[in-house]
Structure 1
Amino acid sequence: MKHIIILLLLIISINSYSQDSDKSVEKAIIDVVNQFFESLEKQDTILMKKIVFIDGQIWRVRNNQNKISYDMRYFKDDLKSFNSKETLLETPLSFEIKIHNEIAMAWVPYEFRINGEFSHCGIDVFTLIYTREGWKIVNASYTIDKKGCEELKKQ
């Protein structure tokens, strides 16, 4: 009977360690995504280079009335335009994180303001890969929506 109790305690402790580990990985991913938003707000190229693959892609989907448009650019191209006179503030509304070994995805509804004025809302989807330096964003895709923002806040 003693051996069964010890075995059960061992199994329970391993499971709780795994859950703690998952939460710390999730927090590390959220930290990287928040650093991405911070780098946009501060126009900080050094921080951006630290958290992204420079040759990674950024996909944008614009929902304009009855017309949807798509375009793609690279993080390295965005870094060249980091001297904007405008104040950019992207605020995450929530985070949904999926992790499998060294790859992760962050689904992040957001609101975007330019010079303090509401511009749009949407969904950011970040793909991250774990490297020797930590988690890095390899791809970012996002929507630009003028409608449906209240629904995003409820999610």
Structure 2
Amino acid sequence: MPPRGRIGRMTPHPVRSLIPAVVVATLLPTALSLAQTPAEQAILAPIQAMFDGMAKRDAAAIAAPTLPGGTMVLMRDGKAAQMTFTDFAARVGKPGTTKIEERIHDPLVRIDNDLAVVWAPFDFLVDGKVDHCGTDLFNMVRVDGTWKIASVADTGTKTCGGK
């Protein structure tokens, strides 16, 4: 029994001191995904569907979430390359051996009734390595209750942080 009036200095148990870090590491990704409202998630879903189609090199899946007649503008070195979604889907949807993946981060979503805009930084990976990055801008419209990609503009640079 310790002497009266004297409290011994206790060191925290190593496992107990890790509990807060484990809780934060476990819950943070969930909290970030929950930060998007259901309306924002509905707007982001067709964008992810297009990216999934690109990764599968499936032209039909790339075109499915887009508005017929929609266009893309790809800004590279101060020059604008324009194409329709149909042309983009045909180009990217060709079978190939390289793996491609586009990822957006921290999307900013603005909604006004049946119109929305998504602005987000992106990384484009080829065979698991960042090939280029930039900013994606998606104009979205809701047609018959379904969100569609009306147009896309993006910047692209090979100078990416952490590449």
TM-score, reference length from structure 2: 0.70
Return the structure number with greater helix share.
Answer: 1
SS in 2 for 1:36: helix
Q: For 2:86 and 2:48, locate their aligned partners in 1 and report how far apart those are by CA, in whole Å.
A: 19
**Aligned residues of 2:59 and 2:94 also touching (Cα < 8 A):** no
State yes or no: 1:144 paired with 2:160: no
Cα RMSD of the aligned pairs, angstroms, is 1.8
State yes or no: 1:73 paired with 2:87: no
Q: Cα offset for 1:70? A: 1.2
* Counterpart pick for 1:44 among 58, 62, 76: 58
Aligned counterpart, 1:9: none
Q: Cα offset for 1:87? A: 1.5
Q: For 1:78 and 1:45, locate their aligned partners in 2 and report how far apart those are by CA, in whole Å.
A: 8
Gaps of 5+ in 2: 1-35
Q: For 2:154 and 2:127, locate their aligned partners in 1 and report how far apart those are by CA, in whole Å.
A: 20
Which structure 1 residue ranges, 4+ long, deviate > 4 Å from structure 2? none
Aligned counterpart, 1:83: 94
Identity among equivalent pairs (%): 23
Which of the pair has the greater relative contact order for Cα pairs under 8 Å at 6+ separation?
Answer: 1
Aligned residues: 125
**Aligned residues of 2:50 and 2:64 also touching (Cα < 8 A):** no
Q: Cα offset for 1:134? A: 0.4
Deviation digits for residues 29-50 of structure 1 (CA, Å, limit 9, x no counterpart): 1112111211111122232232
Q: For 1:83 and 1:133, locate their aligned partners in 2 and report how far apart those are by CA, in whole Å.
A: 31
Aligned counterpart, 1:58: 72
Q: Cα offset for 1:133? A: 5.1
TM-score, reference length from structure 1: 0.74
Deviation digits for residues 44-66 of structure 1 (CA, Å, limit 9, x no counterpart): 22322321013100001013xxx
Distance 1:110 1:23, change over 3 A: same
Matches within 5 A, 1:2-151: 23-63=37-77, 68-81=78-91, 82-85=93-96, 86-132=98-144, 134-147=146-159, 149-150=160-161
Which has the greater radius of gyration? 2
SS in 2 for 1:80: helix
